Structure formats: structure tokens, C-alpha cells
Chains A and B, each alone.
Chain A
């Protein structure tokens, strides 16, 4: 029963989702929407488990004297944000009210931190591109040539060098690049159907022994 019940739940849920896709009549029509609502409810409860896991993990680290500073900062940050969120709801009726202290933390701490992390991408792109474009093989040479054309085609300097550069860059993006992407996406779609069928039929059960 330990195996059969979870398998039945997953197989029947998938079967109902497939039926709801093809049959609009009640009780199937709208079933997918209802399932999404249930999923949101379960996710909400799971979020509590997630927060408990996060705080518990860092509390244990502090007790073990392991990265105390980082873990203390995380717990302190969580508590300050949580308290300010509750305070904002009580005072403004909504934590996301424009002048609330919660939004102050969001706008002046979280958003700049997110932007900083995103900005790092520029440096990582440069280092990864350097490694990928070192001419060692024919493929790497093709990659380098395509990258140079696309980069030049997207800046005014490229058009100054040769008027046809932007059109060539566009052609690379619209024809060979898009064709390769569509090929991958067809494979992904088939793989998704295949994987779904394997799970529905019980051939693949990663969550069971």
C-alpha cells in the first residue's frame, strides 16, 4: 500500500488533468483551474515548512558555532522584515502600501541587492565567453565568428564597418539560431510527453522506492 496509494494519486491526478484538457463539459471543465487552486493552497502550507527549514537550519549552525555571523544576519534580517511586514499590514492595511516600512526595506535593500547580483552577470559573461571562444576546434571558431557578427550587428559601429552587418546578424538570429532552438523545443515537447506517460503508467517513480 505504501507504493500503490502514492502511485494511484499521481496517475489519477494526471488522468483527470488530461481529461480536463479535452472535455470542457462539467465536471471536467474547470478541473484544471481547481487543481491549480489546490496546488496554491498546498504551496502556501509548504512555504511554512520551508521557512521552518531555513530558520531551523541556521539556528543549528549558530549552536554548532559554524558561520555564526552569516546565520545570525539571516535570522535577524528575517525577523526585522517579518515584524515590519506585520506592522505595515496593521498600520496601512497592506504590507505593499507605497509608504510602508516593509516597502522601504524592499525598495532600498532588496531591489539594490538583486540589481547587484544581476550586474555580476556582465563579468561572468565575459569570462565564460573568453573560455568558450578560445579557438581550439572548428565548432569554437564558428561560435566565435557568429558571436562577433551578432555583437557587431547590434551596435552602430557594426553598420559603420559594413552596411550589411545588422542584416547578417539578424539572419543568424532568425534562421540558424531559431531553427536550432525549435529543434531543441520539439525534442523537449516530445520528452515531456514521454516523461509524463512514464509517470502516468508508473514506469518511472522517482519518489518511490
Chain B
């Protein structure tokens, strides 16, 4: 334990001055396990701070030395607990100033994070649109969804591979099963695998993530069962290569060169390997259908592939291909949500320009 020494008169005066600038309070909107200490960093007078904490005013212990920056979050506390603090500031000229004992500060666990109210409102509006359009679709209303040529080309690509007597290679990207583009990719895989089973085309799928591999094996197996051809399903065609980015790229390039597939599907989240894979597939004459939500890789796919699903088109693929009115209703809801966002953006920009209200305060999640 580091004892706090009480200083003579001058020290006490400085302590009071420093206390005025230090704010210690329960961190709002948290699970009651932290206290925020706002330090007078902006004065430019101090080099660093030492923070002492205790559960009574007499048992303060040093918890953090050489703290720099405007705020310090004291984490790992007991919800509902009471804590006392003293801050010692180290000035740039080598002196120290310290506050009086601050507290008790009580930690409070909150039931709703008010900083996320804007997101909750957005989800409720989007959810409402979803329910409305799904019900509308169920009631038999015809919903127009624009044609997505990349998805229309799936049948042709699989058919072409079948005509050439060549396999299909499906590349699901580098991310794990917890990412939305990978889940969307597996939905597309289901449709591709069903078509491959119907045309009796081999489907090869090298994976960079073992969890994706096991899920993909299940998805393809179900698709072959759906097509009534479980006998031709080969789990050995869906295998793990490596999680290393360029190791995976080299491995897939090797497979493309050796197997010479008739169609290559690049569906998922890609990084710098996107163009290497797409160009190798182009060099062997395969038809390529790519799709990703990565805005940095989209230009490469657009330049190198025959068809590219851009961003949301990839996420909408499963609903689009199913032609089921209920799932198509959810796509229509997304379109209306997008229109609402555009209107909101225009209103928010005008509001900020004329100085009426800053809507970004509502939207930023902390």
C-alpha cells in the first residue's frame, strides 16, 4: 500500500484547485463495473497522473501510475460498490499536486444503454417495415424486385461447367462463420450446390476456416438431399486448406490451375487476394461470379469477373433466388428503409446546416 502524505498549507490549497478540475463519476450506461475519472489534461500543465482508490477514505491504494489523457476508466469494480479516490498530478516542471479525497462514488448498473436509443429506433422502424411487407407478400400482393444479372447467371455458369464436363470451384472468402458475408455466401452455396447436384457437376470448395468448412459440408449435403442426389455427395471435396491469407491464395490458385473448373464462384469477404484469385480463374477460361461486401475489393472483381454481386445484392441473393414471396417481402422492406435513410440524411444535413439540431448525436453508438 502506498500511503498518502498530507502536505502543509500550500499543498492543501493546490489540492482544492486540482479537485475543481477533476471529475469522478459512475460511468453512465454500463454494467456498473467502472468509474470514469476526467483529468485536467487539456490545461497542458500536467505530465501524468497517479490514481489512488479505496473502499474507505483511509485505505487508498495506488491503482494506476503515469496515466496520460483526458479520461481514465477504472474497470473491474463491484456493481453497487462505493469507492473513494485521490488523484496526484505530476506537473511538467517536476512538482506534484494532489486532490482531496473524492467520494464516495457509487457504481450503478443500468438496464438500458441510452447511447444506443437511435439504433433501437432504427431497428424498430426496419422491423416494422419487415413485418408490413412480409404480411403484404403473404396476402398475395405482387412485389417488384429488380433483376440481378449476377444471380440470374448462376444457372448458366453451372450448366456451362456441366457441358464442359468440368467441376465448379466455390471460394467462400477468408472470414469465419460469425461474419454476415460468410453466412450470405453459404446461402448462395446452397443454391449452387443444388444446381450442381441436378447437373451432376463436382463441387470443390477449399476453406480458410474450419468452422466454415464443417458448416459448408452440412449445407452442401442438405442441397444434394434436396436435389434427390445424396449418392453423389462427396464430403472430401469440401476441405480445409489454411487460415493464412496468401497460403490460401496459393493453394486455391493451384487448385484452379490443376482442376481447370468451368465456373468459379467467389462469394464472401475478400482482402488483397481477391484479384489474384479472380485473374487466375480468368486465365483458365472459367466463368466467374463474384460477390463481396468489401468496398475496397469490389473494383477488382468488377474489372476481372464476368458478374459481380455488389454489397447488398450478395446479402439479398438467397431471398432473390428462393422466389418465395415472404423472403422477397423482406427485400422490399430493405428498399423502403433505404429510401427512408436517404430522406433522413437530407433532413439531417439541412438541419445541421441551418443549425437546428445535430442528428449525429442520436446515431453514434458508444
User: Does A30 lie within 8 Å of B31, measured CB to CB?
Assistant: yes
A193 CA to B331 CA, complexed, in Å: 11
Of the stretches B11-19, B85-93, B234-242, B352-360, the one at the interface is B234-242
> B112-147: contact bitstring with A at CB < 8 Å (1 yes, 0 no)?
110010011001001100100010000000000000
Task: Report B-chain residues with C-beta under 8 Å of the C-beta of A208.
Answer: 222
Pairwise interchain contact B112-A46, C-beta atoms closer than 8 A: no
B4 proximal to A (CB < 8 A): no
Please determine whether B109 and A24 come into contact, CB atoms closer than 8 angstroms.
Answer: yes
In the complex, chain A residues 29-55 whose Cβ is within 8 Å of any chain B Cβ: 29-30, 39, 42-43, 46-51, 53-54
B31 near A209 with CB under 8 A, answer no
> Roughly how many angstroms separate A128 CA and B331 CA in the complex, as a whole number?
33
- Decide if A50 touches B330 in the complex (CB within 8 Å): no
CB-defined contacts of A110 to chain B, threshold 8 Å: 244, 247
Point out the residue from B116, B214, B245, B315 that lies within 8 Å of A195, measured CB to CB. Answer: B315
| Beta-carbon contact of B293 and A194 below 8 Å | no
Q: Contacting B311 at CB < 8 Å: which of A26, A120, A131, A185?
A: A185
Question: Is A175 in contact with chain B by the CB < 8 A criterion?
Answer: no
Our pick among A51, A199, A207 for the contact of B240 (Cβ within 8 Å) is: A51
Please list the residues of chain A having a beta carbon within 8 angstroms of any beta carbon in chain B: 21-26, 29-30, 39, 42-43, 46-51, 53-54, 57, 60, 67, 70, 110, 113-114, 117-118, 120-121, 124-125, 127-129, 131-132, 181, 184-188, 190-199, 203-204, 206-209
A115 CB, min distance to chain B CBs, angstroms: 8
Q: Is the CB of A191 within 8 A of B130?
A: no
Q: How far is the CA of A49 from the CA of B130 in the complex (A)?
A: 39
Query: When the two chains form their complex, are residues A192 and B327 in contact, meaning their CB atoms are under 8 A apart?
Result: no
B245 to chain A, nearest CB (A): 7
Chain A residues with CB under 8 Å of B209's CB are 43, 50
A-B contacts, 6 of them at CB < 8 A, read A25-B31, A118-B272, A186-B338, A187-B338, A191-B312, A207-B218
B30 touches A199 (CB 8 A): no
Give the Cβ gap from B106 to chain A, nearest Cβ, in Å.
15
Q: How far is the CB of B163 from chain A (nearest CB, A)?
A: 25
Please name the residue on chain B nearest to A124 by beta carbon.
B279
Q: Is the CB of B319 within 8 A of A204?
A: yes
- Is B30 in contact with A24, judged by CB distance below 8 angstroms? yes
Partner of B109 from the list A29, A129, A206 (CB cut-off 8 Å) is A29
> Which A residues are in CB contact (< 8 Å) with B176?
43
Excluding A191-B311, A194-B334, 15 further A-B contacts by CB distance (< 8 Å) are: A22-B113, A24-B30, A24-B113, A25-B32, A42-B211, A43-B176, A49-B240, A54-B242, A114-B246, A187-B338, A194-B331, A199-B183, A206-B186, A209-B222, A209-B225
| Chain B residues positioned under 8 Å from A114 (CB to CB) | 244-247
Residue of B111, B178, B247, B330 near A203 (CB, 8 A) is B330
Given contacts A54-B241, A185-B311, A204-B319, contact A29 B31 (CB under 8 A): yes
- Asked if B249 CB lies within 8 Å of chain A CBs, one says yes
Given A24-B109, A29-B30, A131-B303, is A188 in contact with B311 using a C-beta cutoff of 8 Å? Answer: yes
Q: Bound complex: CA of A60 vs CA of B152, how far in Å?
A: 37
Task: Judge if B59 is at the interface, Cβ distance under 8 Å.
Answer: no
Residues of chain B with a CB closer than 8 A to A186's CB: 338, 341
B270 CB to closest chain A CB, in angstroms?
Answer: 12
> Contact at A117–B250, with CB atoms within 8 Å?
yes
**Which residue of B130, B134, B187, B302 is within 8 Å of A206 (Cβ)?**
B187
- The smallest C-beta distance from B203 to any residue of chain A, in angstroms, reads 15
Pair A190/B338 contact, Cβ less than 8 Å: yes
Given contacts A128-B303, A192-B180, contact A206 B31 (CB under 8 A): no
CB pair B334–A204 under 8 Å, yes or no, is no
Indicate if the CB atoms of A128 and B318 lie closer than 8 Å: no
Q: Are B239 and A53 in contact (CB under 8 A)?
A: yes
List which B237-288 residues lie within 8 A (CB) of chain A.
Answer: 239-242, 244-247, 249-250, 254, 258, 272, 275-276, 278-279
Q: Are B111 and A23 in contact (CB under 8 A)?
A: yes
Chain B contacts of A185 at CB under 8 A?
Answer: 295, 311
A22 to B31, CA, bound (A): 11
Residue B310 at the chain A interface, CB threshold 8 Å = yes
Q: Are B109 and A191 in contact (CB under 8 A)?
A: no
Q: Are B316 and A21 in contact (CB under 8 A)?
A: no
Chain B residues with CB under 8 Å of A192's CB are 180, 293, 315
